Structure 1
Amino acid sequence: MKFNFAALGVSGVLAAKLAEHGIEEPSPVQQETIPLILEGKDVIARSQTGTGKTLAYLLPILQSIEPELKATQKLVLAPSQELAMQIVREAQCYMDSDMGVLGLIGGAAVKRQIEKLREHPRLVVGTPGRVRELIALKKLKMHNISTIVVDEVDQIFQLGDAGEVNQIINSALRDRQLVFLSATINEDIRAMASREMKNAAAVGIEPERVTAAGLEHYYFVCEERDKADMLRRIVRTYNPRKAIVFVNMTDTIGELEAKLNHVGLKTAALYGDADKVTRATVLSQFRADKLKLLVATDVAARGLDIEGLDMVIQFDPAPDSEHYVHRAGRTGRMGRKGTVISIITDRERFIMNKFSRDIGEDIRERMLQNGMVIEPGQTGVRRTAPAKPKAEASRPGAPAGGRGMKEESRPAAADSGRKQARPPARKGGQTQNGLKSKSDRERDRKNKGAPKWLKEKGQKPE
């Protein structure tokens, strides 16, 4: 049975805007979540990355905003600056401009954000640290906020922001609505949900599957010192439109970025310590296809939706299976195909085996040989056009190709236009047939009676 957004309770205005962006049929998580949020229920939703969770909560909270109430009414928390600003851009596509949406992220000027809050944006999207800071300064008013959404809630817990999220929730009214979303839900999240939510509705889309169905998972094995070259060969062989390359330590980013640019692969880096402007510029260039590769730490692993990203490469193995899931989730979004590749050393094979068991996916080994991707044990032979036979090859003893041919095997016609060399002069003025010329005989006659030293001098070659 096919669903449409109108059947889920989405307004005609929003449905029309969705159609303008080519979205006419809701995804499974949207089918389950949108009606629950519109009813005002607390929701804890788990679904694979890239399944449309952002619109699953954005559409109902935008629809429930009261335009005439000039106050902040909805709050969305995100673990990273990049995800927060992506949500802001998504909201701007579907909401009326006079209602306003504001991003509150670290690294930006607080004074500027305070000025924007005076304009009463109906929706605020921010990182927990900056939101809590503005609440403490009494610049972000919480008494009119009716819905709080925590996106990628497991990442927020891993980053140690659970305490700040708890303070933000407690600063709102007791009858506010809470929505938690992520691809993975652990016991700590469930405990917080049971403590803060009232009769929460649980949404689990294919709980046995944690990665998108359209992904292919591979790993390549090499020595540690050869990983950068293996990365280059993988990119050259697969030739993705663009790819994210994940590393675990910021110390290696600069060197890897320089090596990739040196071999002609347009690359830039994205990491948490970079300033806000640099991170925004790099992401903008990557989205606009001005970069082939984005070398990033896990700051880029959560929630980012990059059009045309058909490959994720893990230069360093993910720290755990949850990080693997969220890195992999940057590609293969909304039913598209994608490839996830890990580059490991031989002693790290057990990590791939563990991830395969944890996520329930077959992560297969591949090799590069003769410019082809092959399975271990196969022989990779690059297909080329057959060489044209040489005329000399039919002659017994003739060399197989022109490079090894001897000089005398050339056809005589090859030298037809060359000037013939003069035969070397023989000792004593003799010609090639042993007879003296007339001029030589005349010189000898004149030299009769000359001193011996003069005769010998005349016979020396010049």
Structure 2
Amino acid sequence: MKNRGKKVIIETNLPEKWQQRWQEQGFQEPSVIQDKVFQPLAAGESLVGISPTGSGKTLAYLLPVLQQITPKDGNQLLILTSSQELGIQVTEVAKIWAKDLDLTVQPLIGGANVKRQIEKLKAKPEVLVGTPGRVVELMKQKKIKVHQLKTVIFDEADQLFLPGTSELVEEIIKRFSTPLQYAFFSATAEQALPAIEKVVPGIPVIDATKEDRSKGEVHHYYLMYPNRRLVDALRRFAYVEDFQGLVFFNQLQDLGSAEEKLLFHQLRVASLASDQTKELRKLALDLFKQGKIVELLTTDVAARGIDIFELPYVINTEVPLTKESYLHRSGRVGRMGATGNVITIVQENTLPKLKKMARTLDITIEEIFLHGGALHTEQPEKEEFVEHKLEKEPVKSTRKVPTVTQEKPKKKIKKRTKAQKNKGARKRKE
């Protein structure tokens, strides 16, 4: 029965152009969340959608909602995203599917040129994708036709309702005078339910977490490594065969320091940080997706919504501050059936915290070893350890080299006559 329902969505509920695009994108059948929310959203109902990272939540709301939009009829759909990176990515996906329906998608993301965005709003785009701060700014200037909006999507809802952002979200909601369709999506949206209930009392929750099988095989490891030699560990990772990793830091200043040292060693790394311009962040992400960068250094700014096809590794340079942070970082691998690895660098004093976090998240975590330019699940024998040939920094020998002490040559003593010896004494008397 369930399979038949999924078949119906593809064969009868999608336009012919979309059915072709669905096949071109390599999709076989909808994910659980896509299947469960399609009919309610298509009918204009409000809901909360919860499903694991990488389970296709973006298409889960785009496919039913885009079909309800009337072309050339002004601003009708607003998608709020929790970060600039997520906003850029949602915009890219929305443009692909909206184009087939003759719809225009306009990003309203902070960090971009606001005058250019205002100019493009004059063309009355049907779909708006924005970050809360920029959306509030444009609403105050009356550049967004609020009265025309029919649907508002909150992507990564739990982040949007955190202190600092929730005030902006509440200000946006207050500007809606007519009843709208609201949809809230996240892997951990249950945290935001109290705040969501204030917006839409009694809103139905659709949780696909237990049923979802889209998650690929993800292995969780920890690497014991001295904190003072963190950059050395990242250098070694870069030489592991077929390695490409999203490297997470808890603090922005630690990221900057590590990037500077890695670039000094001429490694193909870049950073994705909150203090960069939108253009620099997009460039770094594009280069990483193209495989031109082996390590992309970032903070939790990239932990949500970033979709990198078949990314093999996520590296935590230290234990994440919260279990939610670990969950969303890990969600960058194993997306839509792909396999991946999550490696957290720890020391003896931080390992207990990681293991406790793993128990809370119900994941199995085991030790991994980084030796000889490769990763091992078993500790290699000492004789197996060989420094990787590409590492330029020589290994200092631990052997004690005996110091050779040379005897100083004896000075030749000249024999002097008694008269010569007393010569100086005679001069002093004179």
User: TM > 0.5 between the two?
Assistant: yes
**Structure-to-structure mapping, 1:85-164, within 5 angstroms:** 85-96=88-99, 98-158=102-162, 160-164=164-168
Q: Measure, in 2, the Cα distance between the counterparts of 1:180 and 1:73.
A: 17
Partner of 2:79: 76
Partner of 1:219: 222
**Is 1:333 matched with 2:297?**
no
Query: Higher mean Cα deviation, 101-110 or 156-165?
Result: 156-165
1:23: Cα distance to partner?
2.1
- Do the aligned partners of 1:145 and 1:173 also contact (CA within 8 Å) in 2? no
- Do the aligned partners of 1:77 and 1:126 also contact (CA within 8 Å) in 2? yes
SS in 1 for 2:209: coil
The Cα RMSD (Å) is: 2.4
Partner of 1:185: 189
**Structure-to-structure mapping, 1:61-72, within 5 angstroms:** 61-69=65-73, 71-72=74-75
Q: Measure, in 1, the Cα distance between the counterparts of 2:318 and 2:173.
A: 36
- Do the aligned partners of 1:51 and 1:333 also contact (CA within 8 Å) in 2? yes
**Structure-to-structure mapping, 1:364-375, within 5 angstroms:** 364-375=366-377
After superposition, the C-alpha distances for 1:189-236 in whole angstroms (9 at most, x for unaligned) are 111222222542311123499994521100111211122212222343
Q: Measure, in 2, the Cα distance between the counterparts of 1:267 and 1:377.
A: 28
The one-letter code matched in structure 1 to 2:130 is G
Q: Measure, in 1, the Cα distance between the counterparts of 2:157 and 2:217.
A: 24
Identity %: 35
**Structure-to-structure mapping, 1:310-389, within 5 angstroms:** 310-375=312-377, 379=381, 382=384
The change in CA–CA distance for 1:159 and 1:191 in structure 2 (over 3 A counts) is closer
Q: Measure, in 2, the Cα distance between the counterparts of 1:56 and 1:209.
A: 13
Partner of 2:169: 165
After superposition, the C-alpha distances for 1:242-268 in whole angstroms (9 at most, x for unaligned) are 211011112122321233234453001
The one-letter code matched in structure 1 to 2:370 is L
Partner of 2:61: 57
**Structure-to-structure mapping, 1:19-34, within 5 angstroms:** 19-34=23-38
The one-letter code matched in structure 1 to 2:221 is Y
The change in CA–CA distance for 1:210 and 1:137 in structure 2 (over 3 A counts) is farther
- Do the aligned partners of 1:369 and 1:381 also contact (CA within 8 Å) in 2? no
The one-letter code matched in structure 2 to 1:74 is L
Q: Measure, in 2, the Cα distance between the counterparts of 1:380 and 1:72.
A: 66
**Structure-to-structure mapping, 1:190-209, within 5 angstroms:** 190-197=193-200, 199-207=202-210
- Do the aligned partners of 1:217 and 1:340 also contact (CA within 8 Å) in 2? yes
TM-score, with structure 2 as normaliser = 0.83
SS in 2 for 1:125: strand
The change in CA–CA distance for 1:108 and 1:297 in structure 2 (over 3 A counts) is same
Give the gaps of 5 or more residues in structure 2: 387-430
The one-letter code matched in structure 1 to 2:91 is V
The change in CA–CA distance for 1:378 and 1:104 in structure 2 (over 3 A counts) is same
Q: Measure, in 1, the Cα distance between the counterparts of 2:214 and 2:309.
A: 18
Partner of 1:14: 18
Q: Measure, in 2, the Cα distance between the counterparts of 1:39 and 1:198.
A: 19
- Do the aligned partners of 2:371 and 2:385 also contact (CA within 8 Å) in 1? no
**Is 1:232 matched with 2:227?**
no
- Do the aligned partners of 2:371 and 2:380 also contact (CA within 8 Å) in 1? no
The change in CA–CA distance for 1:238 and 1:339 in structure 2 (over 3 A counts) is farther
Q: Measure, in 2, the Cα distance between the counterparts of 1:373 and 1:330.
A: 20
Q: Measure, in 2, the Cα distance between the counterparts of 1:100 and 1:375.
A: 50
SS in 2 for 1:148: strand
After superposition, the C-alpha distances for 1:308-365 in whole angstroms (9 at most, x for unaligned) are 4211101122111001111111111111101011111110012211211221101212
- Do the aligned partners of 1:104 and 1:130 also contact (CA within 8 Å) in 2? yes
- Do the aligned partners of 1:211 and 1:325 also contact (CA within 8 Å) in 2? no
The change in CA–CA distance for 1:63 and 1:93 in structure 2 (over 3 A counts) is same
SS in 2 for 1:313: strand
- Do the aligned partners of 1:372 and 1:381 also contact (CA within 8 Å) in 2? no
Query: How many aligned positions are there?
Result: 381
Partner of 2:288: 286
SS in 1 for 2:139: helix
- Do the aligned partners of 1:183 and 1:210 also contact (CA within 8 Å) in 2? no
SS in 1 for 2:103: coil
1:381: Cα distance to partner?
6.3
- Do the aligned partners of 1:372 and 1:380 also contact (CA within 8 Å) in 2? no
Task: Tell which structure's C-alpha radius of gyration is larger.
Answer: 1
SS in 2 for 1:158: coil
Partner of 2:268: 266
The change in CA–CA distance for 1:137 and 1:216 in structure 2 (over 3 A counts) is same
Q: Measure, in 1, the Cα distance between the counterparts of 2:117 and 2:236.
A: 45
Q: Measure, in 2, the Cα distance between the counterparts of 1:175 and 1:371.
A: 59
1:16: Cα distance to partner?
2.2
1:82: Cα distance to partner?
1.1
Give the gaps of 5 or more residues in structure 1: 385-462
